[in-house]
Amino acid sequence: MAAEPTAQESRSRDLDKLLLRPGNLVGPTFEPGPALRDDLKEYGRVLVVGAGGLGCELLKDLALSGFRKLEVIDMDRIEVSNLNRQFLFRLEDVGKPKAEVAAKRVIERVSGVNIVPHFCRIEDKELEFYSKFSIIALGLDSIEARSYINSVACSFLEYDSDDSALEETIKPMVDGGTEGFQGHARVIVPGVTPCFECTIWLFPPQVKFPLCTLAETPRTAAHCIEYAHLIKWDEVHSGKAFDPDDPEHMKWVYNEATKRAELFGIPGVTYSLTQGVVKNIIPAIASTNAIISAACALETLKILSGCSKTLSNYLTYNGAEGLHTKVTEFVKDKDCLVCGPGVLIQLDTSITLEKFIDLLKDHPKLLLSKASITHRGKSLYMQAPPVLEEMTRSNLSIPLFDLIGKIPKDVVHATGTTTKNDKKTSCLRKLRVVFKGVDGIADMDTAGET
């Protein structure tokens, strides 16, 4: 009589069917066998960005899919309103960092998995941090955060002389998103498939309210919240920027919105709604999160193992009336500023780093302010934190040509802020700098370039 399978064998049974057997839809590099399963455990490093409703599901699914080296990054703390759909959290966890609690709960339930939490902003991490991962899985509810991580992943991308992406520099991403009973899962392979920026038009513009309505005739709870956010804040805190990630700032807006709602007899202002309006947070349903997370986890497994062809390249799900799924293959934008070869900038060898940073402010394709500059992982100048700014300040007076080792042409990365749809956002741009008159490099035909 055959021995009963152990709990671990039972758990990996379906996974083994994918990794241990050949098939007709596998990738070109797929080699089935126990060695592949062991390699995923040993070398497959996955970063989960976001530990909310979708992020919790992703952590759980990836751990149960055989990945043993996971990390998760999230800047938020747990709130009572999270508990109805973010299943890793309990009432006693309210106020604690999401990333830390989510990692702890999955480690408790899945034996052998190691999850490192990071309670911080995604912008606080250096490029070197993101470079160590095999793939990045996104469980975000913000367009700005997606755009930033997309630019980070694309910054590692290098091209050959024919402007073809070098495979060893590709940092793949899997992105999921949900809104009510709808959701999407997409595969982003920089340089091969369209990146997030290539298809930014897929996201509808944020709803904007006329200021006259907010100031004079509010009719909804959202009007009261936006009045406190856009008008009252500036009146009371003249010159002080509103930080949507500061709990004290958000609480102030909520209190002011409540007062205004009471004045006009408008119900419905809550703290969670205030967060949703100010930060443009979309509603979430647990079952939709689970479905989209499953699709994302499967694509992650397919990309790293080659056990099947990957999604091509955008899946949409609609469960509002019945169930409908569709896969659409979008096309890469060859002129994309983010996943393309980079913005070409011609410079004299005498241009100092400070002058170079000033040029980025007025460059028609960049309009990048408060830029921090890195070259091959080395910080040439950092705007923040103050200790790094002080350490790198002396480089501002040195020619960029000297700082990068007098190389005639190379790639540098600039991180700063740009304005998009009247809103300042963090971004990272890849810049191809070419120094004129060095090693026979003559002026190039770069219309519109600096």
Answer whether 142's CB lies under 8 Å from 279's CB. yes
Give me 442's structure tokens: 């003559």
Query: Across the beta sheet with 45-49, what order do the strands follow?
Result: 114-118, 69-73, 45-49, 135-139, 173-179, 182-188, 314-318, 324-328
State how far the Cα of 334 lies from the Cα of 192, in Å rounded to an integer.
10
**Per annotation, catalytic residue among 56, 195, 212, 307:** 212
Answer whether 138's CB lies under 8 Å from 131's CB. no
Q: What is the DSSP letter of 390?
A: H
Q: How far is CA 218 from CA 236, 282, 364, in A?
A: 20, 22, 39
333-358: burial string, b at 16+ Cβ within 10 Å, e else: beebbbbbbbbbbbbeeebbbeebbe
| Type of residue found at 340 | G
State how far the Cα of 211 lies from the Cα of 225, in Å rounded to an integer.
12
State how far the Cα of 27 lies from the Cα of 12, in Å rounded to an integer.
21
Answer whether 306's CB lies under 8 Å from 26's CB. yes
Query: Across the beta sheet with 369-375, what order do the strands follow?
Result: 343-347, 423-435, 409-420, 369-375, 378-381
| Type of residue found at 118 | H
- Angle, in degrees to the nearest 10, between helices 53-64 and 286-305: 40
Length of the chain, please?
450
For the question of residue 307 being annotated catalytic, the response is no
**Residue/partner pairs of 267-275 with CB below 8 Å, 24 or more apart:** 267/221, 268/220, 268/221, 269/221, 269/224, 269/225, 270/221, 271/81, 272/79, 272/81, 273/221, 273/222, 273/225, 274/225, 274/250, 275/250
CA nearest 86: which of 55, 120, 50, 64?
55
**Residue/partner pairs of 443-448 with CB below 8 Å, 24 or more apart:** 443/346, 444/344, 444/346, 446/344, 446/346, 448/364, 448/365
- Tally the C-alpha atoms within 13 A of residue 12's C-alpha that lie toward its C-beta: 18
As a whole number of Å, the CA-based R_g of the chain is 24
Give me 425's structure tokens: 């956002």
Instruction: Please give the positions annotated as active site.
Output: 212
